[in-house]
Amino acid sequence: MSIDSLHEDISKCVEPFYKKRLSLIQNLIGNKVLDALLYMPSSTIETVSASELTPELIEKNIIITVKVEFIEYAYFSKTRPITVTCTIGSNRIELLFFNYKPCYLRGTFDVGKTPKIVGKLTVASGGRYQIINPKKATFKTKVGISNVYPLRTGITQDAVNSIIHKALDITCGAEIHEWLPQKVLERYKFYSFFGSLLAVHNPQTIDASLLNNIYRQRLCFDEIFAEQLVIQINKAQQLSNVFINTPQKTNQELVKELVSNLPFELTNAQLNTYHEIATDMLKPTPMRRLLQGDVGSGKTIVAILAMLNAIEMGYQCAILAPTEILARQHLQTLQKYLEKMNITVSILTANEKGKTRTQILEYVATGITQILVGTHAIFNDKLIFKNLGLVVVDEQHRFGVVQRLALIRKGVHPHILSMTATPIPRTTIMSMYGDIDTSSITQKPVGRKEIITKAITMERIAILVNAIHRIIEQGQKVYWICPLIEDSEKLDYTCVIERLEYLRKYFNDDVDMLHGRMDTAEKQGIFKKFSNGEIHILVSTTVIEVGVDVPDATVIIIENAEKFGLAQLHQLRGRVGRSNLQSYCVLLYDKNCTGLAKRRLKIMTQTNDGFIIAEEDLKLRGGGEIYGIRQSGRKQYRTFNITNAMEQELVNEFIITANKITKNIAQNGSMQLYNDCLKIFQPNFNCDVKSSF
Ligand code: ADP
Ligand code: MG
C-alpha cells in the first residue's frame, strides 16, 4: 500500500448503501480518501446502556428499552413532531419524531411494543424526559465514547463514521516516512501521523475532540508545519533566483532636500523606520518590509523618503492605495512635496482612459514617470515599467496576496514596503507570509493632542448642531458618518440622504454627502470641496474609513456607533487629530444596545492608543476574528479552528516552532523527506500561488 491511496477518490470509502448521496458527501467532506481522514469531529458523545431513567443520564446518549403507551400524530402540521409516549418502569418518556412520516414508525412503535432505542436524553420544561429523533438500537450500536462530526441535511453520523473508518482501513497500512524532526516529536510527545489519525477517529475520552488532545495536536502541528514549509520553500526559491540590480549607495541628496523643506520636524520614530528601509535597499535581495504605525503617525512621509532614495538609485517607484480617493490624495501629497524637486509623478486608476491612459503607459514604459500612484486596477493592465525598484502598498491588509504576486509575475522583483495602521500579531504575519521584517512608528508627531471622545445617546443629537456651529466658525471641518447598512446599498443611501436633509436645515450649502452609490468622479468632486473648504460638513458612509487626510477636520460624529467594531471605530476616529488642533470624536449610540457594544464605546472614550484598542478588541472577541484583518482573505484550517480562543495560544506556539524549523529545512534540508507531508496537507503545492509577500 502506498501513500498514493490517500489521493484516490472518496467514493472508495462510500458503502453502496450511501452511494446515492455521493455528491452531498463530496460537498461536505471532499473528493479524496484523504479528505475523509482529515475530517475532524466537532465534539464527542458518550453512549451508555440504561435500564431505568436517572438524572445522571441527561445529555448522554442512552440505549434503553421502552414500552409504547400511546402515539399522537400531528396530521395538520409539517413542523410539529409525532409524539410517542412511552414508559420505563414508573418513569415516562416522550419520543419526538421530527420530519417522520407515520409509516416510518409503524411496526416498531405500535402501542404495546417494547423497542430498544438509542438517542440523547434531554429534559423538557416541566421535567419531562425526552428523546428527539431516537433510532432503533441494533447490534451495531456501540456503548462508549464516539465522535460527533459536523453534518448537513441528508447525511447522518452513521454515514460519516462509516466513510471515515473505511478510509482508515484503506490507508493505515500505507508506508509513510516520519516527517517531523525527532526534536519536535520528543518536545510535544507526539505519536506517528497514522497513529494520531486512528486515535482521533476512535476517541477514548470525552474531551478527545478538543485541541488539548495530543493526537489532534499532532495533526494540527502537521498542518501548520506543511504551510510554513511551503512559504519558506517559495521564499528561498524566490530570493535565490532574484537579484535586483546591484544596489547603488546614494548620497541621499533628494531625501535631504525634502527633509530640509518640510514644514515640520520628522519624529525620531519616522527617522528610524526610514533608516531601516534604506538599509534594506542596500542589500542585493529585495526588501519585504511591513511598516506598522497607528493612524495619524505619519507613515506617508516615510514612504516618500524611501521612494526618493529609490529614485536616486535610478529606479521607478509605485505606490498603491486601496481606494481611488486615497490614490488621488497620495498624488496631491506627492505633488505638494515634490513639485520643486522636478520629480515626475503620474496616476493610473480605472478612471484614466483612452489617450490619457496610453500616454501614462508610455511614460511608465520609457521611464519618464518616476513615481506611479495607483489602485489595484494597475494590475489589470499592460503596464510595463522601465525599471521598477520599489513598490509601496498602503493599508496593506486590503490587498490580496494574489494581487501582490501579479506584480512579481510580471518578472520584476522590486523592493516592497507595506504600510498598515492595523497592528497585526506576529504569528498571524507568519502564517500569512512566513517571516517578514517589520518596522513600527511608535510615536506621534509632537504637539498632537489626544482626541476627546464622547459617547452620547441618539436622543441628544440636537445638541450637536450648536457645537458644530462653533467648530465651523473657527474654520474647522466636520465628518458625519452614517453606518454602512450591510447588503443594502439602498438603505445605506437613504440614511445619508436623511442626515443631509436634517443638517441642511441648519447649515444650508455648507454640507454635502458622499456614499457608495456615487461614481468615483462624483465622490472625488465632493471630497475636494471638503478638503479645500468649499463645504465644512461632510456626511458620509464608511467609504471615508481608510487613510483620508484632511488636517483641519477636527470633529467626527459617528452615528450608530454601537454597530461598528473597535478596529473600525479607531480607523474612523483617526480621520481627525491629524494636526495640532484639538479634535473631537462623538459616538452616537442607541441606548438599547447590548452590553458588549457599550463596553466597546467605553474603551473608545478611555484611550486613543491603537495598540491598547487592538488588545481589548481581542479580549472582547474572545480571540475570535483577529483585529481588523478580514478573515475571509485567510484560509481555513482543517485540523483546528483559528477563531477558537482556547486553541489560539497553542496554535501560536506551533506557528512559531514550525516557522523556525522550516526555515532551516528550506535552506539546507532535503525536500524528499517532506514530500508525504506536503502531499497530504498542501496537495496543490506546485501550483500554489502562496508565497512570501
Ligand atoms: P498615517 O500614518 O495615518 O498614514 P499620514 O502619513 O497621513 O498618517 O500623516 C498624518 C498627518 O500628519 C499628515 O497631514 C502629515 O502631513 C502629518 N505629519 C506627518 N509627520 C509629521 C510630523 N513629524 N510632524 C507633524 N506632522 C506630521
Ligand atoms: Mg495613511
pLDDT digits 0-9 by tens, 241-262:
555 556 678 889 999 999 999 9
Query: Is pLDDT at 219 greater than 70 in this prediction?
Result: yes
* 518 Cα: distance to centroid of ligand 2 (angstroms): 23
Domains contained in the chain, CATH given = 43-148 (2.40.50.140), 264-441 (3.40.50.300), 452-607 (3.40.50.300)
Asked if residue 628 has pLDDT above 60, the reply is: no
H or E segment to which residue 123 belongs: strand 116-123
User: Which ligand minimizes its atom distance to the CA of 302?
Assistant: 1
Q: Which pLDDT score is estimated for 690?
A: 36
Strands 553-558 and 477-481: parallel
Q: Is the confidence at residue 294, as pLDDT, over 90?
A: no
Return the ligand number nearest the Cα of 578.
1
Ligand 2 centroid – CA 546 distance (Å): 7
Q: What is the pLDDT of residues 304-332, one digit of tens each?
A: 999 999 999 999 999 988 888 889 889 99
Q: How confident is the model at residue 381 (pLDDT cuts 50, 70, 90)?
A: low
pLDDT of residue 624: 37
**DSSP codes, 509-543:** GGEEEE-TTS-HHHHHHHHHHHHTTS-SEEEE-GG
Segment 526-555 mean pLDDT: 88
Distance 301 CA to ligand 2 centre (A): 9
Q: What does the pLDDT read at residue 693?
A: 36
- Categorize the per-residue pLDDT at 403 as very low, low, confident or very high, splitting at 50, 70 and 90: low
The kind and range of the H/E element at 110 are none
User: What pLDDT is recorded for position 487?
Assistant: 52
Q: Ligand 1 center to residue 299 CA distance, Å?
A: 7
Query: Which has more pLDDT, 398 or 586?
Result: 586
Would you say the C-alpha torsion 564, 567, 569, 571 has a positive or negative sign?
Answer: negative
Amino acid at site 408? I
Q: Whose CA is nearest to atom 24 of ligand 1?
A: 445
pLDDT score recorded for residue 9 = 92
User: Who contacts 325 (Cβ-Cβ below 8 Å, separation ≥6)?
Assistant: 520, 523, 524, 527, 543, 544, 548
The residue contributing the CA closest to ligand 1 atom 16 is 298
Give the number of the atom of ligand 1 that is nearest the alpha carbon of residue 300.
Answer: 6
pLDDT at 210: 77
Q: How many Cβ atoms are within 10 Å of 121's Cβ, its own excluded? A: 23
Residues with CB under 6 A from ligand 1: 264-267, 270, 293, 295-301, 421, 445, 547, 549, 551, 578
Reference 389, options 375, 372, 403; nearest CA is 372
What letter represents residue 120's amino acid? Answer: K
Secondary structure (3-state) at 485: coil
Q: Strand, helix or coil at 190?
A: coil
pLDDT tier for residue 379 given thresholds of 50, 70 and 90: low
Name the strand (E) or helix (H) holding 494: helix 489-507
Ligand 1 center from residue 264 Cα (angstroms): 9
Residue 557 has what pLDDT? 96
Give me the amino acid identity at 28.
Answer: L
Closest ligand to C-alpha of residue 580 is: 1
Q: Is the pLDDT of residue 30 over 80?
A: yes
Residue with more model confidence, 563 or 246: 563
- Strand partners for 487: none
Range in 90-94, 476-480, 542-546 the model is least confident about: 542-546
Give the model's confidence band at 240: pLDDT under 50 very low, under 70 low, under 90 confident, else very high: low
Segment among 73-77, 367-371, 389-393, 676-680 with least mean pLDDT: 73-77
Q: Which strands sit side by side in the sheet containing 415-420, from one edge to the other?
A: 345-348, 371-374, 316-320, 388-394, 415-420, 288-293, 437-441
Burial letters 380-396, b for 16+ CB under 10 A, else e: eeebebeebbbbbbbbb
Q: What is the pLDDT of residue 631?
A: 39
Greater confidence (650 vs 422) lies with: 650
Residue 337: strand, helix, or coil:
helix
| Rounded Cα gap, residues 418 and 310, in angstroms | 15
Nearest CA to ligand 1 atom 23: 266
Find residue 147's DSSP bridge partners: 44
| b (16+ CB within 10 A) / e for 500-535 | beebbeebeebbbbbbeeeebeebbebbeebbeeeb
Look over the chain and give the mean of its residue pLDDT values, rounded to a whole number.
85
Side-chain-side CA neighbours of 252 within 13 Å: the count stands at 14
d(CA 251, CA 262): 19
Percent of the chain with pLDDT over 70: 88
Probe target for ligand 1 pocket from 443, 575, 578, with the most ligand atoms within 8 Å of CB: 578
Instruction: Describe the crossing of helices 520-531 and 324-338 by its angle, rounded to 10 degrees.
Output: 50
| Residue 609, pLDDT score | 87
**Which of 326, 328, 549 to mutate for ligand 1's pocket (most ligand atoms within 8 Å of CB)?**
549
Q: 97-101, 375-379, 534-538 — which one is most confidently predicted on average?
A: 534-538
What's the rounded mean pLDDT across residues 440-448?
Answer: 87
Q: Which amino acid is at 619?
A: K
Whether residue 636 is predicted with pLDDT greater than 90 in this model: the reply is no
Cell of 199: 486515535
101-108 CB contacts, 8 Å cutoff, 24+ apart: 102/73, 105/71, 108/136
How many Å lie between the centroid of ligand 2 and the Cα of residue 549? Answer: 8
